[in-house]
Structure formats: structure tokens, C-alpha cells
Structure 1
């Protein structure tokens, strides 16, 4: 019995050693593969940044995440698009993807941000937290999402004559390719706008729409002339001021080469008088126009809540056959 037990013990020991060697070999190969892939990714990112039509700078570029993740890290990010005269700078960037799912990446971007569009448009922004995620398939980026907390900033134009300050408690943007179209959804909670010395009442904003033939925007960004030459469907554009006062628009739209809006829409308003007073308080210069439009809508709907059809034709907004407003070129 003793020789047999010794043979059995020796066989078991060899199996344990073989298993241990196999595990060690796998870990060694995995480590080599990870660092090789990280080096290739770093080289790929550098090549894409230098070869892109839009110059992108990633200060302090590193690839981290071993052993189970892999991601690109930058101390600061800069963008320079000479085609449009646009430049932008941001804080640190951190990204990560699981090694078994490299097509799904999550990112975190620090502020502050400064965006300039020559000759006289500037946007400054900062936030408490900004995170993004992106999913890429065999044909490129398929969907992307951005979420922010405590977003605030200012927008200036016309050599500082136009100044708009904004603040949003929470915001989300979701983009998804839908065939040749692009589905876009946006929400802003607690949006506060201040134009010059005028404070617009705080509101929650929701936008849900589809832009035709715009799936490529996920890869290359919108064209220089956007939103001109675009068309699509607005499923829901809602501004909620609280206390049951809100306005919502849905319908199809088209914007021509000159930036003039055309389309057919349905407008739903809850609390016409409250919305009229809010607009008049925020923009006294159009108080009479707001009152006239409110009276017309109330007359057609018969109450403080309304549901009416609107039509836009080359930038002129009609309620039935009555022109009620002119929309500036977009």
C-alpha cells in the first residue's frame, strides 16, 4: 500500500505544480499583454491627437488601470479648431474601461472650462462633478452620455455687450445613433439664467428630439453651420416653472440655409397668466407682446390652460392665421 500511496501523492503534487506554473504563466502573459496594449493605446492616442484636423492637446498623457481596467489620463485638455476659430481648455481628464469590455468607457472631467469662438464669443464654466460614458461598436461611437452637478458659468458675445450667466443644479445629456438619425435627450434641473440684470425664473427643462441624418455627429461633431440645414422631430420640449406652471412644445422642424425656422408644432401651456407675468417681469421690453400672445391663446382655448397648434414659416410664428412672433435666425 505504501508505494501506491507514494505514487498517488507524487501525482497530486505534480498536478498542483503544473496548475501553479500555468497560473503564473497566465499572469505573466496577461501582464505583458496589458502593458503592451497600454503602450499601443498611448501611441494611438498621440497619433490621433497629432493627426486630427482639430488640434487636441493632452498634457501629461498616461495610460493607467492595471490590472483590470485601462484608461487615458490627462492633467489638462486643450482643443484648437482653426476651421471655426474655436479654442477650448479644460482641467484634468480621467477615463477607464474594463479590459474585457474596451468599447465601453467612462470618463470624468475637471473644470474650469474656457471656450472661445473668434472673434468675440466666450464661454466660461465650472462644475462640482462632470462624468461621461461612451459606447463604441465596430463602426464607431454608438451612444454617449454626460451628467453634471453644480454647473455654472457665463456666456458673453458682441464684445461683452451680451452677457448671460447660468446655473443648473443637475444636468444630463444623452446621444444615440438611430440608423442615420441622432436621438438626443437633455435635462436641466433648477436652471437659473441671468441676462444683464434680468433674472429669469428658475425652471426645469427637458428636451427629447431626433435630428435627421445626424448620426455622424457622434463621430465628427456637428458641422460648422449647425443648426442650419437640419431637420427633425421634437417629441417633447418642456419648461416647468413649478406650482403647476409649464409650457411644452412638440412637432417637426426644419432650419434652412439662412437659419430660419419652419415647422408645425403643438403648444401646451399650464398657467397662462403666471407664465405671461414671468416673461413680462424678466423681459419688460416684450411685456406687451407677451400679454397679447397670452390673450390670443386664452381666447382660442377658453381657459388658463391651453393646447393650441402653431406653425412656423421662414422664421415667422403663426397661431392659426395670425402671426404672433418673429424668430431670429438660428
Structure 2
């Protein structure tokens, strides 16, 4: 009787062991299937980030796509990335993209992109760029990107216009680009540190400076996820603050509401603040000596508006592209976007 009981116990233990092993195999198979399913989500989200929108004149390509990271993360790499917007006449090419996401959160994607990169437009503009490091994080949802942050260090770019024959070289130590959906609105932020530009056939040295801007575009959240294809034509928003700082207290700040009409012409009511009016005038005179008399007149006018002080706050108005200071001093015209 004891031997029979022991045999039954032994058989039960083997059945439990085999059942447990079977459950482990099934769970492992389900996990592997889930991992490969998640890779399809990452692939789709990365291609959305590249601009692959079938039927919209916008396409993106990731050549030699490969996956890695099993079992705890999902990694994707492309030997080359290309984006082509036929409607806008813009194409771009990049080298070596690497993206990854945790398997439990495949819509949170971190990616890096190696330089060089090139962008071309049908208007004859070519931009070639390289950098020491480019990293980005994306949060996606069903329709596309919901939030994006990109950081670029050691940026060097060359800009050439075949139509005008002009060219320029631009450098920046550190660049940050942020975009996110906030309900129906799109919030944008940009920061550039220690930027400099050298223009062909322009002997003067432009001052090194830093700039930042924070903008809200009303009802334009769809521009980030691809559902809004109208661009900025007819858009409205608020420039919360744009700052240009060229050092030694020489700072300009601009803020105010704005809108673009159906032709892409800008209108808006802005507040312009200038610190160190005199030093700003000296910097502009050194950069643009041919405009010395105009700059001198403008500096005196701003000083008068500031009651002789070196800091002034004035109204800057844009009326369908036409700029004016304090409502009556014309400054020129901004072309449509």
C-alpha cells in the first residue's frame, strides 16, 4: 500500500512538472510572439516619424532594416534613411538610424541618427549637415507622433542656393527641439546655444549668439501626428517668447499673438524689448557697415523712445507681411511662408 501511494505521488509530481514546463513553453511562445508583434508597432511608428504617409505625397524609407534587443527591448536599425515630400518638393537623406523601445512600452521610442545628412528642395536649396551627436525621444499614439524631443550637439551645416548663388556655413554647440500635442493645440520649443554663421562674399564676422523660442499653434496638434496636412497657411497662435542673446547683456525679446492668412502672409501684434540699445547698434554697425547711417538713426530713435535709457519696449506690428515699429515706422516686408 505504501509503495502504491509513493508511485501515485511520484506520477503526480511528474505530471505537475510537465504541466509547469508546458506552461513555461506556452508563455515563452506568447512572449516571443508579443515581441515580434511589438516590432511591427515600432517599425510602423518609426516610419511614421520618417514621414511615410501613403497617398499624401509623403514617403519615407529605411533600408536594410534589422531588429534586435530580444527579449527585454526592441531595437531597430537602418543603414540609410530617406524622406521625400513630393507636395512640398523637399527630400532628405540620412545615415545610420538606431531606434529602441522597451518591450512593455513600444510607443516610447528613443533613437539616434548619425551624420552626414542632406536636404534638397525644388527651389534650389541644398543643406548639408553633420553633428557629433543626435538623440531623440518619441511618444507615439495610434495616428502618429504625440510628443518629440531632439537634442543635437556639435552641429555644422552648409546652406547653398543654386538660384541666388548664395551660400552660408552655420554652426551651433547645442540645439534642442521640442514638440507636443496639448489637446487640439501644438506646443513648440527650440533652443540654440553658441550659434554662428559665415556668409559667402560677406567679409564681416557675424556675432556668436544663442536663441530660444516657445510657440503655441492653436488647433494644430494634427501637424505632429500627420492628420493635419494644411501646414501653417490659415494658422494662428501665440509666440510666448523669442530671445536673441549675443552676450554682454545684448538681448532682444519678442512676444505676442500672430496668424498666417491663406497666402502664408504673417500678421501679428508683438512686443519687442531690447536691452543695451547702444551696444546692439555698435554690433550691427560692425556687421553691416554699409548701413551705418540707418543703424545710427534707428539707435537714436530707440533711445528717444526709452527716454535716453539703454532698454526699450516697443510695439512691432505685422500686417500681411508688412512690418512697422510703434505703428508708424516702416521696417520692410516679410515674404510668405
CA-CA distance at 1:135 after TM superposition: 0.9
Separation (CA, whole Å) in 1 of partners of 2:209 and 2:306: 24
Aligned to 1:23: 24
Find the residue that maps to 1:309 and give its secondary structure. strand
Q: 1:187 aligns with which of 169, 187, 191?
A: 191
CA contact (8 A) 2:315 2:327 kept: no
Separation (CA, whole Å) in 2 of partners of 1:44 and 1:189: 30
* Structure 1 position 217 matched with structure 2 position 223: yes
**Relative to structure 2, which stretch is displaced further, 255-264 or 231-240?**
255-264
Find the residue that maps to 1:58 and give its secondary structure. strand
CA-CA distance at 1:24 after TM superposition: 4.2
User: Residue deviations 1:155-207, cap 9 Å, x none?
Assistant: 12253522221111011111111222211000001111122244321111010
Q: 1:131 aligns with which of 132, 135, 148?
A: 135
CA contact (8 A) 2:45 2:140 kept: no
Q: 1:2 to 1:152 in 2, by over 3 A?
A: same
Aligned to 1:35: 36
Q: 2:297 aligns with which of 278, 287, 292?
A: 292
Q: 1:69 aligns with which of 53, 70, 73?
A: 73
CA contact (8 A) 1:50 1:56 kept: no
Q: 1:55 to 1:137 in 2, by over 3 A?
A: closer
* Structure 1 position 279 matched with structure 2 position 280: no
CA-CA distance at 1:40 after TM superposition: 7.8
CA contact (8 A) 2:325 2:331 kept: no
TM-score (norm 1): 0.87
Q: 1:208 to 1:39 in 2, by over 3 A?
A: closer
Q: 2:269 aligns with which of 247, 264, 269?
A: 264
CA contact (8 A) 2:95 2:114 kept: yes
Aligned to 1:207: 213
**Relative to structure 2, which stretch is displaced further, 292-301 or 281-290?**
281-290
Q: 1:221 to 1:286 in 2, by over 3 A?
A: farther
**Relative to structure 2, which stretch is displaced further, 31-40 or 298-307?**
31-40
**Relative to structure 2, which stretch is displaced further, 102-111 or 305-314?**
305-314
* Structure 1 position 121 matched with structure 2 position 128: no
CA-CA distance at 1:143 after TM superposition: 1.1
Separation (CA, whole Å) in 2 of partners of 1:189 and 1:154: 18
Q: 1:14 to 1:294 in 2, by over 3 A?
A: farther
Separation (CA, whole Å) in 1 of partners of 2:76 and 2:53: 13
* Structure 1 position 310 matched with structure 2 position 329: no
**Relative to structure 2, which stretch is displaced further, 294-303 or 184-193?**
294-303
Find the residue that maps to 2:88 and give its secondary structure. coil
Separation (CA, whole Å) in 2 of partners of 1:138 and 1:88: 25
CA-CA distance at 1:258 after TM superposition: 4.2
Q: 1:142 to 1:314 in 2, by over 3 A?
A: same
Matches within 5 A, 1:133-212: 133-159=137-163, 161-196=165-200, 197-212=203-218
Q: 1:221 to 1:139 in 2, by over 3 A?
A: closer
Find the residue that maps to 1:295 and give its secondary structure. helix
User: Residue deviations 1:10-41, cap 9 Å, x none?
Assistant: 98887677555533442233124323554686
Aligned to 1:249: 254
Separation (CA, whole Å) in 1 of partners of 2:321 and 2:68: 51
CA contact (8 A) 1:49 1:57 kept: no
TM-score (norm 2): 0.85
Separation (CA, whole Å) in 2 of partners of 1:315 and 1:51: 33
What RMSD, in angstroms, separates the aligned Cα atoms of the two structures?
A: 3.2
In structure 1, stretches of 5+ residues that fail to align are none
